[in-house]
Structures are given as structure tokens and as C-alpha cells.
Amino acid sequence: MSALVSLEGLSVRYPRSTTPALEAVTMSVAQGEKLAIIGESGSGKSTLARALVDLLPRGSRCDGTITWQGGSPAPGRDYGYVFQDPGSSFDPILSIGAQMVEVLQTHFPLTRHDARVRAAALLARVQIPAPELALDAYPHQFSGGQKQRIAIAIAIATGPKLLIADEPTSALDTVVQAEIVALLQELVESDAMTLLFITHDIALASGLADRIAVFRNARLVEIGTANEIITAPRRSYTRGLVAAHLDLTTPVLIGDVP
């Protein structure tokens, strides 16, 4: 599979920071793959995503190279971004429809009416009930899981080739988490998008991703297929992560296996 984007020796230092947030990261994201980025808090996962799409704060120092096939993606059009806190994606005083119409009209020559029709279709795609009515509702009227569905609808509104989801389910309960992951999987596969799924949950990563990249202390520890990482991790840190997960599930497995 060809690379959508390749990183070569990427290092990032935030302004006024004495330690690098990313150090000498070399890896690529394949066109159309679902790549999970896992690692503990502070390991550099979000920094990697921000560096990729040029969203680092001003004054950050970025060394190394980032090479996009077909040029850098345009903000808000060629990639979609879903954040951990679904509330932070919205303006609380604007209706969902107004926010979606604004995004759509920024990128497409649509009348307000046509933009609303398209917005309703996007809400239907992310399984928001009664999409036409939902357009006139405000963010606080939706549950956390529904807000995250709407945030995903906005993220895919422009038909991006890359979807970045940065801990999109970490603020949600387990059942809703699984539903959101299934929705992302379905959307990414049916639209042939590339997915960068950031999580600290190795179980969630292994259920969704084709490949998993493991980060620790600003460095890429290892990258491989989800199967390789789970069944044959090469690095002791990854083995520890997998073992910790297996320890948690072992009693269930023993009970389930005849």
C-alpha cells in the first residue's frame, strides 16, 4: 500500500519547553489504513497528530520531514479532526444546523437550503434520530455520545481523505465507546478514508486498527500489524502493555474457553 504521509526523523519541541514532545520519529501512514496510535498520557500522541496537519502552537520547533503524497492537506477540507471532549467541538450558542451549514458553505458553493439538506444527510449517516429536527437543536440538548457523533459528522462533512480521531471515546462510557468505534470503522471503510485513531486503550486499538504504533516518552517504540503487536510484540514495553491487558481479561477468558 502506498504511503499517504511519511515522517522521517520528526522531532517536536513546544515553545519554552526544555524536553522534546516527539523525538526522531520515522514511520508512515498508508493510504486507506486504520492506524492506532497508543501510549500513556504525555507520550506524544496528540503532538504527532498536530504536527502532521500543521496544528502545533506558534513558536514550536519541528525538525525532520513530513512528506504527503499529493501535497499537504488543506485545513478543514482534506482532513477531519475529532477531539476527546465532544463539547469542545461546538459553539454553545449556535444550533447544530447553523454550525454545520457554516462548515459546508465555507468549503462548497451551496445555498443555505442545500447546505441544510446535506447537513441533515450527514446527521442521518452518523445515526442521529430525526436529523431535520436535530439541526435546530443546540449542543447541550445532546448526550456526550450524540455530540461525538455530530462532531464526527462535521469532521467528515467535506469528504476528507484523512480522519484523525484523538481519544474520541475517552470521555464516554464503555457501551457508547463501542458504538462510536463501530461508527468510525463503518464510515472510514465505506468512504475509503485513512484513519488515525489515538487511544491509550490497547484493547480498543486492537479491535479497530490494521496497524498499531506504540509511543512512549516522545518516541516510537514499535509499529506493526495489530496482530503482530498483540501476539508477538518485539519490545518489552509493548509486551508489558499487552500483558497488563491480558491480566485484566484472563479470568473472563478462562471462564469462556471450554
Ligand X SMILES: Nc1ncnc2c1ncn2[C@@H]1O[C@H](COP(=O)(O)OP(=O)(O)O)[C@@H](O)[C@H]1O
Enumerate binding residues for Mg ion (CB under 5 A): 45-46
Question: Smallest gap, in angstroms, from Cβ of residue 46 to Mg ion?
Answer: 3
Number of residues that bind ligand X (CB under 6 A): 12
Strand order in the sheet with 34-39: 79-82, 162-166, 194-199, 34-39, 211-216, 219-225
User: How far is it, in rounded angstroms, from Cα 15 to Cα 182?
Assistant: 37
- Taking the least distance from each CB to ligand X, the nearer of 49 and 180 is 49
Question: Smallest gap, in angstroms, from Cβ of residue 200 to ligand X?
Answer: 8
For 119-176, the DSSP string reads HHHHHHHTT-SSHHHHHTS-GGGS-HHHHHHHHHHHHTTT--SEEEEESTTTTS-HHH
Selection from Mg ion, ligand X, none that 160 binds (CB < 5 to 8 A by kind) is none
31 φ, ψ (degrees, to nearest 5):
-55, 125
Question: Smallest gap, in angstroms, from Cβ of residue 65 to ligand X?
Answer: 19
Selection from ligand X, Mg ion, none that 151 binds (CB < 5 to 8 A by kind) is none
- Taking the least distance from each CB to Mg ion, the nearer of 34 and 50 is 50
User: How far is it, in rounded angstroms, from Cα 69 to Cα 72?
Assistant: 8
- Taking the least distance from each CB to ligand X, the nearer of 21 and 214 is 21
Q: Letter for the amino acid at 174?
A: T
Question: Smallest gap, in angstroms, from Cβ of residue 252 to ligand X?
Answer: 28
- Taking the least distance from each CB to ligand X, the nearer of 17 and 67 is 17
- Taking the least distance from each CB to ligand X, the nearer of 41 and 174 is 41
User: How far is it, in rounded angstroms, from Cα 198 to Cα 243?
Assistant: 20
User: How far is it, in rounded angstroms, from Cα 86 to Cα 160?
Assistant: 19
End-to-end CA distance of the chain: 39
In the range 34-53, which residues lie near ligand X by CB under 6 A?
39, 41-47
Question: Smallest gap, in angstroms, from Cβ of residue 44 to ligand X?
Answer: 4
Q: Which residues bind ligand X (CB under 6 A)?
A: 14, 17, 21, 39, 41-47, 57
